[in-house]
């Protein structure tokens, strides 16, 4: 173990010293949302995140979970679109601004589209009471059980988001991805600009279908807004045949959720390309069997995409040529069939990585510059007695990572960005990290 860390330390020093100081990563967008994420629908890869694992209230985006349970019941045969839903006094009087012209009971198929398109809370209460055996609380128990079944970090309090709930941006994105995968017909509903109920026409709450229709590719999904949540928005957008799912939570200011969404989707789309300076990196990575994009099954290198913890671990293992054999990773959130599973198992066995406790590794979480510093620092076995706050944004570096950042910077292993900043939450792109590791391998081969 000690010998391996010594070898790793020497190799990393050689590579990092040769890596240019300023980061090649694209500048991340500045948004007002408290939490946000962009996810590739096909692969589940995270392309952007901000506080994606911190729970916020999702407001009416909770209706996505309600819709999921409705579709589950229909596909099981427990309900049909012709099922008649009794309308209780609670459903008629709660959320009075909806002013829904109910009869004594209404057909489920007539309620579903306006419920999702216009976000009609009265309809949601009636459906939840029926599916919950006469009690909305019974339905909420089903919502939370479904969240557990899907492995989501989410806790619901009622069917519509009229009360504060607790949902992370990552959970909302995964929920949206799952419902589309299982019931793709949901996109026919969430892409509607309006829905009719009796003689009333309900216009969609989603302004991407009118005020912001110039932003191309949007085909769903769900809005949410409340005093306790700020502006929330889940969006599906298809560009050049690639579907993205974005979530913003707690955006502040008039229509900021739309501006925030456009910023992070445009950012994610730019990541699908490779920078001109890195045009030779994909071929070199292929030649050295270090192309992590190929391990992910991507058709192109997509050099500007950020690195996740799982992918960065794979890149380290490929660079060091550690044997990747079948074995347990000891992390319950690392799927056995994931492209990085064997690499995480190998790195764990070699003592190069650890998790967050309780068997959690968070392989899809984007790895920040400060966390990369900590991983390298720990792998090399450094333990400095003092730290030098040499960056203007020193206070933004997490206290647990400051020793690693200072120690590796002093050794000229890590570098800051322009203007005397370290940008601790910035992520390294695939092209940046791959070039660094290719330089590392070149230097090792020259020394051997």
Token readout for 18 is 């040769």
Residues 156/140, Cβ–Cβ less than 8 Å: yes
Active-site residue identified among 57, 58, 95, 119: 119
Q: Is 296 one of the catalytic residues? A: no
Residues 5/376, Cβ–Cβ less than 8 Å: no
Task: Count CA within 13 A, CB hemisphere, residue 109.
Answer: 6
Q: Is 139 helix (H, G, I), strand (E, B) or coil?
A: helix
Q: Is 119 one of the catalytic residues? A: yes
Q: How far apart are alpha carbons 94 and 82 in whole angstroms?
A: 25
Active-site residue identified among 23, 57, 58, 60: 60
Q: How far apart are alpha carbons 99 and 293 in whole angstroms?
A: 52
Question: In Å, what is the CA distance from 346 to each residue of 337, 343, 378, 382, 443?
Answer: 15, 5, 16, 21, 23
Q: Is 63 one of the catalytic residues? A: yes
User: Phi then psi for 108, rounded to 5 degrees?
Assistant: -55, -40
Say which residue the tokens 């009622």 belong to. 158
3-state secondary structure 196-251: EECCEEEECCCHHHCCCCCCCCEEEEEEEEECCCEEEEEEEEEECCEEEEEEEEEE
Residue 222 annotated in ligand binding:
yes
Active-site residue identified among 50, 57, 58, 63: 63
User: Phi then psi for 384, rounded to 5 degrees?
Assistant: -75, 145
Q: Is 417 helix (H, G, I), strand (E, B) or coil?
A: strand
Where are the extended beta strands (E) located within 41-190?
Answer: 46-50, 55-56, 84-86, 105-107, 154-155, 166-168
Binding site for substrate: residue ranges?
A: 222
Q: Residues annotated in the binding site, as ranges?
A: 222
Q: What residues are labeled active site?
A: 60, 63, 119
């Amino acid at each position: 173990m000690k010998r391996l860390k010594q070898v790793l330390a020497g190799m990393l020093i050689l590579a990092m010293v040769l890596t240019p100081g300023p980061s090649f990563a694209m500048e991340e967008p500045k948004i007002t949302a408290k939490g946000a994420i962009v996810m590739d629908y096909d692969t589940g890869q995270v392309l952007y995140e901000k506080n994606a694992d911190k729970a916020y209230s999702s407001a009416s985006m909770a209706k996505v979970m309600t819709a999921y349970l409705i579709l589950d019941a229909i596909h099981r045969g427990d309900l049909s679109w012709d099922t008649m839903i009794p309308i209780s006094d609670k459903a008629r009087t709660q959320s009075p601004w909806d002013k829904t012209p109910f009869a004594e009971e209404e057909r489920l198929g007539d309620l579903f589209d306006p419920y999702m398109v216009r976000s009609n809370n009265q309809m949601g209460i009636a459906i939840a009471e029926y599916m919950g055996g006469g009690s909305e609380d019974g339905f909420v128990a089903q919502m939370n059980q479904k969240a557990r079944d899907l492995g989501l970090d989410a806790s619901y309090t009622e069917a519509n988001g009229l009360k504060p709930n607790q949902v992370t941006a990552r959970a909302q994105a995964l929920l949206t991805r799952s419902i589309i995968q299982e019931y793709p017909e949901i996109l026919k509903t969430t892409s509607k600009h309006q829905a009719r109920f009796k003689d009333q026409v309900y216009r969609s709450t989603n302004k991407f279908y009118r005020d912001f229709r110039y932003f191309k590719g949007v085909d769903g999904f769900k809005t949410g807004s409340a005093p306790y949540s700020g502006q929330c928005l889940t969006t599906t957008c298809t560009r050049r045949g690639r579907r993205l799912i974005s979530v913003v939570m707690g955006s502040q200011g008039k229509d900021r959720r739309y501006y925030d969404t456009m910023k992070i989707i445009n950012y994610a789309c730019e990541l699908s390309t490779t920078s001109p300076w890195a045009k030779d990196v994909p071929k070199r990575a292929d030649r050295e069997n270090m192309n992590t994009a190929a391990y992910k099954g991507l058709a192109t290198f997509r050099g500007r995409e950020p690195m996740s913890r799982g992918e960065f671990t794979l890149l380290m293992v490929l660079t060091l040529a550690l044997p990747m054999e079948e074995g347990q990773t000891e992390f319950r959130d690392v799927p056995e069939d994931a492209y990085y599973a064997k690499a995480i198992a190998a790195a764990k066995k070699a003592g190069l990585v650890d998790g967050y406790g309780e068997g959690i590794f968070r392989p899809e979480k984007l790895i920040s510059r400060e966390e990369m510093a900590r991983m390298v620092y720990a792998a090399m076995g450094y333990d400095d007695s003092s730290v030098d706050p040499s960056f203007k944004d020193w206070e933004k570096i997490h206290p647990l990572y400051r020793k690693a950042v200072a120690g590796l910077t002093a050794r000229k292993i890590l570098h800051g960005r322009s203007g005397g900043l370290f940008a601790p939450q910035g992520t390294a792109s695939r092209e940046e990290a791959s070039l660094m590791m290719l330089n590392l391998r070149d230097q090792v081969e020259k020394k051997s």
